[in-house]
Chains A and B, each alone.
Chain A
Amino acid sequence: MYNAGMQGSKPRTPYHEFYADDFTPRDHYRLLWNHIKATGNSALEAKAHESQLALQAEGVTFTVYGESEEGIERIWPFDLIPRIITAAEWVKIESGLKQRVRALNLFLGDLYGEQRIIKDGVIPPELIYQGRDFRREIVGIVPPGGIYTHVSGIDIIRDEKGEFLILEDNLRTPSGVSYMIENRVIERRILPEFFSKYRVRRVEHYPSLLLAALRSLSPRGKDTAEIVLLTPGIYNSAYFEHTFLAKEMGVELAEGRDMVVVNDVVYLKTTTGLQRVDVIYRRIDDDFLDPLVFRSDSSLGIAGVINAWRAGNVAIVNAPGSGIADDKAVYPYVPDIIRYYLGQEPILQNVPTFQMTNAADREYVFDNMERMVIKAVSESGGYGMLMGPSSTPASRKEFMGLVQENPRNYIAQPVVYLSRHVCYMDGELEARHLDLRPYVIYGEDIEVVPGGLTRVALRKGSLVVNSSQGGGSKDTWVLAE
């Protein structure tokens, strides 16, 4: 499917976000650069220390799962030097994301409805019918407003030419938004003077945007909206975020066992009796949502909630079944999906992708594994992935076997050398690779919060930014016009 520019490519230089060349910063970083030069490393050290204390005091943590079953809770790794995105750059990102999210929602409505896109031969049926996240149980149910993904976190990277590319659509239960906000809180504290100088746009209103979107979905109208954030519980890696968002929005945080469905109405069990629930912002996967319909061995969900949803008595955010649209095997078709539903050219491009179901693609990937990233289509968070440049012969052999066993389950992409940025690491300014996850809320309209979570690969030369794999983060400044 993609071949151009691959053969015999020489080592490429990643784009540098901060420096235009070895000696000069890009224009929008000059103010910050001057300040760093003037105050020196000792001032940076003091700021770094201050940010560490603040993160500890706020209890901003995340959980890492390793070989052992038990997760380890760590303080959120924060780098104090902000990543800055100009107004002009943001215009493109924002319009590209809106376009993409609109098209993906039309796609979901079509898949769970008439399936015109399959009948018209744009999407091969195998892709959908062999996709783990195509949920037959919800076919024919139309969610309020026809919207499935009220919250998306879409990963964007910048290639060697400085072009923004979409890496992944996260449309299930994307996490990280609490860190976007915490990063901002800390940064305001340690670099207060720059916010007005730079005219940085706000991100702290995210919880109120989300709350408004959730309210707008209430079957009893937005003025009587009882909202619950459904968490799998304290052992989940994103539990910090669940408590954070529930608190910020002023909604109940609950587990499945705290709720009950009675004759198609969902209730929260409270000390004063059953209280009707109108909107569930769920942070558990479809598989665990309703043991009556999906995995029967799950005790995390609410039995009967899908029938309550079908009856129109409760809204579920994001809608069940959304996962088929961010299946990594569907990803290569997103540009066609945009053209099909909107009649527009995609504003933001995909990373070139090889489909392992295609024999020629597969052979090419096997011949070039050291330059490829191979990903399992239904995994996220950097799990189930082979990074070619750092892989061993044994791991390459293992992945070759896995791909041959189940080609539908894998895709491959040429390694993109993510753009770099300066980070303050142990007393030195060093370059590290990073990406960006902006958050898109689809309520009565689509809004992209100006900013996002910039994730940094803390290990030198590493291209893996996931916090579960040892990534860090930066505050992301989107500048006003």
Chain B
Amino acid sequence: MIFRYLFILFILLPFNAFALIEVDITRGNLNPLPIAVTSLSMDKDSEKKFKELLKKDDIGLEISNVLKNNLKKTGLFNPLNNDAFLQKSDIAHLKPRFEDWALIKAQALITGKVTFVDDKLRVEFRLWDVLAGKEMMALAFTTVPDNWRRVGHIITDKVYERLTGEKGYFDTRIIYVAEEGPKTKRIKKLAIMDQDGFNTKYLTLGNELVLTPRFNPTNQMVTYLSYFRNLPRVYLLDIETGVQEVVGDFPGMTFAPRFSPDGKKIIMSFAMDGNSDIYTMDLENRVVERITNHPSIDTSPSFSPNGKYICFNSDRSGYQQIYVMKSDGSNVKRISFGKGLYGTPVWSPRGDLIAFTKLHKGKFYIGVMRTDGKGERLLTENFYQEAPSWSPNGRVLIFYRETKTNSKGEGFSAKLWSIDLTGYNERLVDTETDASDPSWSSLLSK
């Protein structure tokens, strides 16, 4: 309702210097903004070059489809069917006939042009406010032609930011565990893909069990658990070079790793003699610090974005609950007091919320609470789901969900899902194989 009023207000004041169209992302959006995304136009020479280079008949259309797909999946936008467009896209890019776009109920319009310049792909695009009859943004990018999908993602980030006032999350990757085979003998590999499910690459071969990969802040390194030689240990992997190493020299299982927000430390659990505690290791000087010292299970640690606090789960009260402490391990405070068990706390990149998995009466929930434990909100309920990971703007959570098998133990699957912080817009995330343990990167281009 408020959103509508705001919107009308801006239409009445077309020469207002502030954003004309605004998309409110703080609530579930039942009226996604109608947006026309034209195919990016090309001259004949560029078309021919890209056809040779990329084996795509119409790279302008392909890039606009990346953009449309991203916008649609946010649930905030409704990209209109191109068949309805009245004006040709190359002409619209120079000077849109706004009446034509208003007639098909578009409120925003994206136009653009792709050219082949000095062996590179150059894209320019414009975002228009149809009702106000104004250009809202114009930008151009040049990159290697192979990067064309990323161009689509970067444009989405720009459009999203201009219309919502928040940073986007489209030029990002997901690292996850690809799964195949029967439930009793699952084969697991590390996999990495673009946020929209394209460009999947497998980083391990599946010879050993691998779990819980997480990016470092610059997205070049990954820390994860590997059962290499049947010794479950935390590893560090350089994605570019493929070089791997064991983190630390612990006489037992290390697990549940994550990076500190500055990327200099890994925080993880170390299990010894039936007791799991939380440790950090400095990646430069290899100094190991013990953070918790308690006979209960302390695991799933996650730093606050400023590095000052750590949330984790512990069963020191008798059952798995969420705790917060200072990063040196002092001032431990339990924050989850609702009914049921709580696990996998993970601090929002905005710092104000902690996402978690909750088990209550045989159902699993993904939820969020404030960092003092107040304001708990459950976003989604299912037979089994866990391990939320935040989009870099803190607006979307990705997690995995497993299905219940039938009476013969058949029908098992594991898939990635995403849901908005609002609790709306729950979506299956495309993956080539079954998938679990997703971790969202930060924005690749900042």
A binds B: no
Taking Cβ atoms with an 8 Å cutoff, the residues of B that contact A are none
